[in-house]
């Protein structure tokens, strides 16, 4: 029998946490993700089901919304990504599907994306080095898709931190870009 050991997207057993100057870059593998795409003609019903699930209004264009235990961000017209801590929601996609029923197509995205949380001072300087988002206009509750080092990433702005999602296959490249940019700025 094989002795399999779970690895993070960066290929290690414990998540990486790097501090460079005033910025901390933390790999956060403990999140479950599910995409929700409203089916044609079911957009309103899907949005209502998503709001029931979140306990908050479904996020609009380029927005992020957080309920008590679940959060979601807009990724396209009538398409959202729902996130929750894996420890409390290992079956997130099944829960979302049960609530949305036939109003949406739901796909488990948990293993497909790598999450990095950035915290500290002057994060806008770091982000401006990495992508073309207007960081002066990014406020808490905004979520945008952008390119970072030619990788499609989601950037979520929180009150005092940013969350970045990249395809898991690009996690090491994104981590390298974050570290390099942080060293060049700080």
Do residue 143 and residue 80 come from a single domain?
A: no
Residue 43, in any domain of the structure: yes
Residue 45's CATH number: 3.30.70.1520
Q: Give residue 161's domain range.
A: 17-29+112-185
Question: In this model, does residue 1 exceed pLDDT 80?
Answer: no
pLDDT per position as a tens digit, 125-179: 999 999 999 998 999 999 999 999 999 999 999 998 999 999 999 999 999 999 9
Residues facing 8 on adjacent strands: none
Residue 133, in any domain of the structure: yes
Tell which residue, 64, 65, 163, has the closest CA to residue 115: 163
User: Per-residue pLDDT averaged across 11-34, rounded?
Assistant: 97
Residue 169, in any domain of the structure: yes
Residue 7, in any domain of the structure: no
Residue 179's CATH number: 3.30.1360.120
pLDDT of residue 136: 87
Q: Is the separation of the CB atoms in 92 and 33 below 8 Å?
A: yes
pTM above 0.85, yes or no: yes
Task: Please report which residue ranges of the chain form alpha helices under DSSP H.
Answer: 43-54, 92-100, 123-130, 171-185
């Amino acid at each position: 029998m094989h002795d399999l050991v779970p690895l993070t997207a960066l290929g290690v057993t414990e998540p990486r946490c790097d501090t460079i100057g005033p910025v901390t870059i933390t790999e956060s593998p403990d999140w479950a993700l599910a995409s929700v795409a409203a089916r044609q003609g079911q957009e309103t019903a899907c949005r209502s089901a998503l709001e029931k699930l979140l306990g908050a209004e479904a996020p609009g264009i380029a927005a992020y919304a957080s309920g008590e235990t679940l959060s979601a961000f807009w990724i396209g017209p009538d398409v959202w990504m729902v996130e929750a801590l894996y420890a409390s929601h290992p079956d997130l996609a099944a829960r979302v599907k049960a609530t949305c029923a036939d109003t949406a197509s739901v796909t488990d995205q948990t293993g497909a994306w790598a999450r990095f949380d950035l915290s500290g001072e002057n994060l806008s300087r770091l982000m401006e080095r990495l992508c073309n988002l207007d960081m002066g206009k990014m406020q808490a509750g905004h979520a945008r898709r952008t390119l970072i080092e030619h990788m499609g990433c989601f950037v979520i702005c929180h009150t005092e931190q940013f969350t970045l999602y990249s395809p898991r296959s690009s996690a090491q490249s994104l981590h390298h870009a974050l570290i390099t940019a942080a060293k060049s700025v700080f």
